[in-house]
Amino acid sequence: MRIAFFGDVVGKSGREGLCDALPDLRKQLQLDFVVVNAENAAGGFGITEKTANEMYDAGADVLTLGNHAWDQSETLSHIEREPRLLRPVNYREGTAPGRGAGLYDLPDGRRVLVMNVMLRLFMQPLEDPFASVSHEIDSCPLGAVADAIIVDMHGEATSEKVALGNYCDGRASLVVGTHTHVPTADHRILPKGTAYQTDAGMCGDYDSVIGMVKDEPINRFVTHMRSGRFTPASGEATVCGLYVETDDATGLAVRCEPIRVGGQLAEIIPEV
Amino acid sequence: MRIAFFGDVVGKSGREGLCDALPDLRKQLQLDFVVVNAENAAGGFGITEKTANEMYDAGADVLTLGNHAWDQSETLSHIEREPRLLRPVNYREGTAPGRGAGLYDLPDGRRVLVMNVMLRLFMQPLEDPFASVSHEIDSCPLGAVADAIIVDMHGEATSEKVALGNYCDGRASLVVGTHTHVPTADHRILPKGTAYQTDAGMCGDYDSVIGMVKDEPINRFVTHMRSGRFTPASGEATVCGLYVETDDATGLAVRCEPIRVGGQLAEIIPEV
Amino acid sequence: MRIAFFGDVVGKSGREGLCDALPDLRKQLQLDFVVVNAENAAGGFGITEKTANEMYDAGADVLTLGNHAWDQSETLSHIEREPRLLRPVNYREGTAPGRGAGLYDLPDGRRVLVMNVMLRLFMQPLEDPFASVSHEIDSCPLGAVADAIIVDMHGEATSEKVALGNYCDGRASLVVGTHTHVPTADHRILPKGTAYQTDAGMCGDYDSVIGMVKDEPINRFVTHMRSGRFTPASGEATVCGLYVETDDATGLAVRCEPIRVGGQLAEIIPEV
Amino acid sequence: MRIAFFGDVVGKSGREGLCDALPDLRKQLQLDFVVVNAENAAGGFGITEKTANEMYDAGADVLTLGNHAWDQSETLSHIEREPRLLRPVNYREGTAPGRGAGLYDLPDGRRVLVMNVMLRLFMQPLEDPFASVSHEIDSCPLGAVADAIIVDMHGEATSEKVALGNYCDGRASLVVGTHTHVPTADHRILPKGTAYQTDAGMCGDYDSVIGMVKDEPINRFVTHMRSGRFTPASGEATVCGLYVETDDATGLAVRCEPIRVGGQLAEIIPEV
Ligand SMILES: [Fe+2]
Ligand SMILES: [Fe+2]
Ligand SMILES: [Fe+2]
Ligand SMILES: [Fe+2]
Ligand SMILES: [Fe+2]
Ligand SMILES: [Fe+2]
Ligand SMILES: [Fe+2]
Ligand SMILES: [Fe+2]
């Protein structure tokens, strides 16, 4: 199976970058399935039904979220009727609307399990991400029920991300991080066959502080005072993601390469 | 000027990887100056005089540290007599031995200012890194006193790193992050001419949890109990760093590319 | 000198409790000087000119703030023209309006130095509170320039508070904590003569979660979701503070006792 | 039932203070049941079988722990054979030895449920303390199975402690905090009948930084460098705790008063 995963879409620049690039990338890379982290799609904070639909229309199969899941209050109801939108799976049962994992059918009958999970180091203490992810995978094992399993781990600390990746090694097709808004260059296939990258990076304008116009974030670090709001930077986005090819016999990865298109960062597109 | 910077050297694997690769890289890339973050060189924790000397012998001009600076007690005296070893610059005056910034002479008379600074988000609250770095740069400005300025910002959060990089844009040759042990793929030249990468990545075995044998870190995330010590992983290192070329007229960057050699990550060496 | 210090005034309940009790307490305890932490006076978040004036009218000589200093945007200008309002002293020079320390004259000519300082453990990294407080005290030493020195340390962790108290021992009349909204029972005179209490406690309704109506804070701990705003609890306040008597010859404390009046907590008023 | 709870016993000073005072207090207050937090009993770090036995001999019925539970490696086996020793209940099943809750029989047949729980704000992310405590209480409800229920919540932040206290209101006899090593003065009976105090305070020498000789903790705050180890202060302890009387018909509290004996803090002993 040919899969692409794209990191945190930030604001209008990120949405436009993604929606412009995705149709071509789907064709060029012959993608079967596309997951996009969209927690910052709506003006940098959360997601709206309108912005979600733009991304489905451009070729996203599933959208994932993170700590910004609920920044737009409409998401509380939107997520209940939209099975393609996933919030972190490790909310205690009964506390959050929507779902954190879904099994999706491809037109040809293959099935992909996708989940979004929040890590805990320097973040909110949701339920144990290691146990939560294990539980989801065990309910729908790779090769037996799911033809591919994609884990979006939304987290800050590299140690926790690498630990979770290796904890899942051999049981998922791809474990990829989001949230830091900076792509890492450590894409690889772990020893037991799981594709891994610590962070997918954002889809947004990199001439910014992780997607926001630079002045206010710098000002806050320097003065510890607010002098305005955070607003998404509006320059051309770099669309950042990952291309993964799996072996349909096992669901494990045979190829894992970065995708970076447009904007400030060096362009790289896998050759298929 | 041709500069290379290498990220956190972890344990024996990291030292051997670096010391094997560096002589060839110095030649091949015609390097004028090499800085290495070595806070994890000695068994994963701090640095000893012996391990430092191995790296100077292999071609490192300056070694920088970070939150692990004092893990080896001998460093308290070692750093007092070794001007090529830098601890974070933002200790309050009179509190830490050694120095956090140094101006180094090349054989041809050009001079390089190097500093190591600790960031504060999710870390210890040393003195303000923005003010500290500004102060050091202003005492020895690029183009006027220093022919190149290299800032090693040792920190966790991408927002703080990108903010500091942009805060220094136009006033330094290179601002590069360390500490997360994962290389980022966002190397670029900022609008006013400063080369930037959020993290250089570690020189160490990537089949690990940020340099350590995987079992114990995973165990601690899963159980919140210790069942042993952290020990550096001993597989082949990937030597991770950055190549930067500056314009000697301005000290600003004209080229900025990643270096990754050996081990688990995809190899990349700039063509010179 | 007879001094009283009252902890974080929370919302209308806190203001009414304080303003009702203070005139009588001033008389009964023959108070020379009254300091009130008022960072939550305006609806639980920050302070307005109107709420500040209510407290000055009731007998407060100086109001101090904390991490909520700027919750009301009018404070940015209000504090510039109101010398009796103090924000944390450890903002880097030039970054925050207003002042963090003031020397106040009593009608009889005695002078009191008051400062507000933010601690850093689990809080924002303002400038070093130990150095900042030392600097302020040294500029206006006890016994020489100031007849009394009052330090309001706004912080979370008991270790940092006790450490700062002892660091100032013998150089201040009173070092008292604020911010946790819970009074501690460790009031005492430290070995070199400084009165100390880890936290003064809030002036507010204790049938609450640190001043706020209980449902929403509990809900957030249980679900990690928001279901509404924090609103100040409106039951009768317990006015919580500290009474300190100093020796005018030295400025050091000779007496240090708690004050708790009204509401849910056991009442205690020093006998004078 | 007459219950006493004592906070974190720190080192030799704390053990001696407690063991000297407890026999008399048991008689004088006619105590039926005594719980002691002992996570710092052995030289300030953890507990040994020897130090535990001293406290059982002096009259402690149950000892609780906290984040220092495993500082002494012998505790891993000690706790398996000692039903009177409780570690935090909210370790995921199968991860930690021993138990976090126990039902204890009084000689007269009444039964007391005791549990120790770790909170999460500014601490390790164990399992959800709200859910864990609820689960334990529901398995052994007050009035039905247990004649009294005592919850030792080991935590840093006052907000989380007050929230958990109120969350349990009416379902436990006593919810009391530990860990900060400073007694709070907010002891009270919550609206539905649960006795509550944010922190019991330590049993230890208060002429210290939360139990440790002052120099090194102050030095670390001032310099961010280590210059030695933390050692328990050896002056006379203040024994800090709480006296609670319950109604045997309901298990709810009818009286809740502080106990403070010896050392630096003002003495207070309930009259019975
Ligand atoms: Fe995020
Ligand atoms: Fe994001
Ligand atoms: Fe580090
Ligand atoms: Fe490191
Ligand atoms: Fe506060
Ligand atoms: Fe407050
Ligand atoms: Fe503790
Ligand atoms: Fe403790």
Nearest-by-Cβ selection for A70 from C91, C222, C225: C225
Confidence of residue D122 (pLDDT cuts 50, 70, 90): very high
Q: What is the pLDDT of residue D256?
A: 98
Cα torsion for B217, B222, B227, B233, to the nearest 10°?
-20
Q: Which ligand is nearest to the CA of D10?
A: 8
Q: In chain B, which residues have their Cβ closer than 8 Å to the Cβ of A207?
A: 190-191
C92 secondary structure, DSSP code: P
Neighbours of C134 (CB within 10 A): 16
DSSP label at C229? -
Looking at residue D29, its pLDDT comes to 98
Select from D70, D125, D226 the Cβ nearest to the Cβ of B225.
Answer: D70
B177 alpha carbon – ligand 4 mean position (Å): 11
Would you call A266 and B188 a contact, using CB atoms and an 8 Å cutoff?
yes
How far, in Å, from the CA of A216 to the mean position of ligand 6?
26
Q: How far apart are CA A168 and CA A189, in angstroms?
A: 12
Longest dimension (CA), chain B: 56
Q: Tell me how many residue pairs between chain A and chain D have CB atoms under 8 A apart.
A: 12
Q: CB distance B128–C127 less than 8 Å?
A: yes
Name chain D contacts of C162, Cβ cutoff 8 Å. Answer: 182, 208-210
The topology (CATH level 3) of B2-261 is Purple Acid Phosphatase; chain A, domain 2 (3.60.21)
Q: Where are the domains of chain B?
A: 2-261
Tell how far the Cα of B236 is from the centroid of ligand 4, in angstroms.
Answer: 18
Distance, CA of B163 to CA of C253 (rounded, Å): 46
The residues, ordered by sequence, that sit 6+ positions from C63 with a Cβ below 8 Å of its Cβ are C35, C36, C37, C38, C41, C47, C52, C55, C56, C84, C85, C86
Residues of A in contact with C70 (CB under 8 A): 225-226
H helix and E strand count, chain A = 6, 12
Three-state DSSP class for residue C72: coil
What tens digit of pLDDT does each residue of B213-270 get?
A: 999 999 999 999 999 999 999 999 999 999 999 999 999 999 999 999 999 999 999 9
Residue C222 at interface with chain A, using a CB cutoff of 8 Å: yes
Helix axes B129-138, B158-167, angle to 10 degrees: 30
Residues of D in contact with A120 (CB under 8 A): 125
| Contact (CB<8Å) D224/B70 | no
Q: Does C11 touch chain D (CB under 8 A)?
A: no
- The answer to whether residue D159 neighbours chain A at the CB level (below 8 Å) is no
What is the value of ipTM here, to two decimals? 0.97
Q: Is the Cβ pair C91, A124 closer than 8 Å? A: no
Crossing angle of helices C215-223 and D129-138, in 10° steps, is: 90
Q: Does B225 touch chain D (CB under 8 A)?
A: yes
Q: Are C69 and C55 spatial neighbours (Cβ–Cβ below 8 Å)?
A: no
Angstrom distances, CA of residue C158 to CA of C68, C108, C197, D179: 20, 36, 10, 10
Mean pLDDT by 10 residues, chain A (272 residues): 98 98 98 98 98 98 98 98 98 97 98 98 97 98 97 98 98 98 98 98 98 98 96 98 98 98 97 92
Q: Are A72 and A46 in contact (CB under 8 A)?
A: yes
**Which-ligand-closest: CA of A203?**
2
A210 touches chain B (CB under 8 A): yes
Distance CA B190, CA A207 (A): 8
CA atoms of D99 and D65, how far apart (whole Å)? 11
Q: Which residues of C193-219 are buried (b: 16+ CB within 10 A; e: fewer)?
A: bbbbbbbbbbbbbbbbbbbbbbebbbb
Chain C residues whose beta carbon lies within 8 Å of the beta carbon of residue D198? 182
Rg of chain B on CA atoms, in Å: 17
Which residues from chain B sit within 8 angstroms of residue A261, using beta carbons? none
Q: How far is the CA of D39 from the centre of ligand 8 (A)?
A: 6
What was the pLDDT predicted at C263? 98
pLDDT for res B215 = 97
When pLDDT is cut at 50, 70 and 90, the band that residue D221 belongs to is very high
**What residue spans of chain B are helical by DSSP H?**
11-28, 49-58, 75-81, 129-138, 158-167, 215-223
**Interchain CB distance below 8 Å, D128 and A131:** no
DSSP letter for each residue of B108-144: TS-EEEEEEEE--TTS---S-HHHHHHHHHHTS-BTT
Instruction: Tell me if A110 sits within 8 A of A143, measured CB to CB.
Output: no
Q: Give the distance (Å) from ligand 3 centre to CA of residue B41.
A: 11
Q: Judge: C128–B131 Cβ closer than 8 Å, yes or no.
A: no
Place of tokens 């009270």: D188
Residue contacts between B and C (CB atoms, under 8 Å): 12
The enclosing H or E element of A26 equals helix A11-28
pLDDT along chain C (272 residues), means of 10: 98 98 98 98 98 98 98 98 98 97 98 98 97 98 97 98 98 98 98 98 98 98 96 98 98 98 97 92
pLDDT in tens, B76-94: 999 999 999 999 999 999 9
Ligand 5 centroid from CA D241, angstroms:
27
List chain A residues with CB under 8 Å of D125.
120, 125, 128
Instruction: Check if the beta carbon of residue A242 is closer than 8 Å to that of residue A4.
Output: yes
Nearest to D159 among C166, C187, C209 (CB): C209
Here the tokens at position C212 are 């706020």
| CB within 8 Å: D91 and B225 | yes
Going by the DSSP 8-state scheme, the letter that residue A229 receives in this structure is -
What confidence score (pLDDT) does residue C48 get?
Answer: 98
Chains touching D, CB cut-off 8 Å, 3+ pairs: A, B, C
CA distance A98 to chain D (A): 21
Q: Report CA dihedral (D208, D209, D214, D216) to the nearest 10 degrees.
A: 150
Nearest to B149 by CA among B183, B179, B185, B175: B175
Determine contact, residues D191/D169, Cβ cutoff 8 Å. Answer: yes
Strands D62-64 and C195-197: unpaired
Contact status of A103 with chain B (Cβ, < 8 Å)? no
Q: Output the pTM of the full model.
A: 0.97
Please indicate if any CB of chain A lies within 8 Å of the CB of D160: no
Contact call for residues C184 and D184 (beta carbons, < 8 A): yes
Looking at residue B157, its pLDDT comes to 98
Q: What is the pLDDT of residues C32-50, one digit of tens each?
A: 999 999 999 999 999 999 9
Residues of C that are catalytic = 68
DSSP secondary-structure letter at B89? T
Decide if B222 touches A, using CB distance below 8 A.
Answer: yes
Q: What is the pLDDT of residue B261?
A: 98
Task: Give the closest ligand to the alpha carbon of residue A156.
Answer: 1
CA distance C237 to C22: 13
Chain D CB contacts of B91 under 8 Å are 223-225
Touching check for D131 and chain A: CB below 8 Å? yes
Backbone angles phi, psi at D207, to 5 degrees: -85, 70
Q: Which residues of A are catalytic?
A: 68
C-alpha B268 – ligand 3 centre gap (Å): 24
Give all chains having 3 or more CB-to-CB distances under 8 Å with chain A: B, C, D
Count the residues in chain B. Answer: 272
C130 and D222: CB-CB below 8 Å? yes
CA distance C189 to C197: 9
User: Chains touching chain C at 3 or more Cβ pairs under 8 angstroms?
Assistant: A, B, D
Three-class HEC string of chain D: CEEEEECCEEHHHHHHHHHHHHHHHHHHCCCCEEEEECCECCCCCCCCHHHHHHHHHHCCCEEECCCCCCCCCCHHHHHHHCCCEECCCCCCCCCCCCECEEEEECCCCCEEEEEEEECCCCCCCCCCHHHHHHHHHHCCCECCCECEEEEEEECCCHHHHHHHHHHCCCCCCEEEEECCCCEECCCEECCCCCEEECCECCEECCCCECCECCHHHHHHHHHCCCCCCCCECCCCCEEEEEEEEECCCCCCEEEEEEEEECCCCCCECCCC
| B224/D124 touch (CB, cutoff 8 Å), yes or no | yes
